[in-house]
């Protein structure tokens, strides 16, 4: 079991960062003021789920015998489900956060984008760094 966790450590770290960002108080998140513009939270959702999707897809590619289409389906199913679950958790388990359909949409688009950019990373030989 520990061996499997080690093989998937990168997407696990991203998933934990997403979990923290989704469930922590919004007052804690607003202390970091690097970029500010309208709907930056949607951009962050998109980028975090793109990273999660890309890293999970790469980990599956390195550590499983699944065919390409199977890896795509598994990755999208798990990452999109995780994103929807985080929105539900925000609704039920936080006091100052709310579930938003637009956040879920950004998560889904980010998940697909992570899969979409994989061939680009692969062609540029960047996979070895991820």
Q: What is the mean pLDDT of residues 60-89?
A: 96
Residues 6+ apart with CB under 8 A from 19: 86
Which residues neighbour 11 within 8 Å (Cβ) at sequence distance 6 or greater? 52, 55, 56, 59
Average pLDDT over residues 49-75: 96
Mean of pLDDT values over 76-104: 93
The mean pLDDT of 65-90, rounded to a whole number, is 96
Asked if residues 17 and 79 have their Cβ atoms less than 8 Å apart, the reply is no
pTM (whole model) above 0.85: yes
**Is the pLDDT reported for residue 61 higher than 90?**
yes
Q: Are 106 and 42 in contact (CB under 8 A)?
A: yes
The CA distance from 14 to 20, in Å, is 10
Cβ atoms within 10 A of the Cβ of 44, count? 17
Distance, in Å, from the CA atom of 22 to the CA atom of 86, rounded to the nearest integer, reads 6
Q: How far is it, in rounded angstroms, from Cα 11 to Cα 125?
A: 19
Residue that wins the pLDDT comparison between 10 and 128: 10
């Amino acid at each position: 079991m520990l061996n499997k966790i080690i093989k998937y450590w990168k997407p696990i770290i991203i998933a934990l960062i997403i979990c923290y960002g989704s469930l922590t108080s919004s007052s804690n998140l607003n202390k970091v003021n690097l970029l500010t513009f309208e709907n930056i939270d949607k951009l962050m959702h998109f980028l975090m789920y793109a990273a999660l999707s890309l890293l999970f897809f790469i980990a599956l590619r390195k550590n499983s015998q699944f065919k390409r289409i199977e890896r795509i389906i598994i990755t999208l199913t798990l990452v999109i489900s995780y994103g929807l679950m985080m929105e539900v958790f925000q609704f039920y388990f936080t006091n100052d956060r709310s579930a938003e359909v637009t956040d879920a949409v950004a998560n889904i688009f980010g998940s697909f984008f992570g899969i979409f950019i994989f061939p680009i990373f692969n062609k540029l030989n960047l996979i070895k760094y991820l």
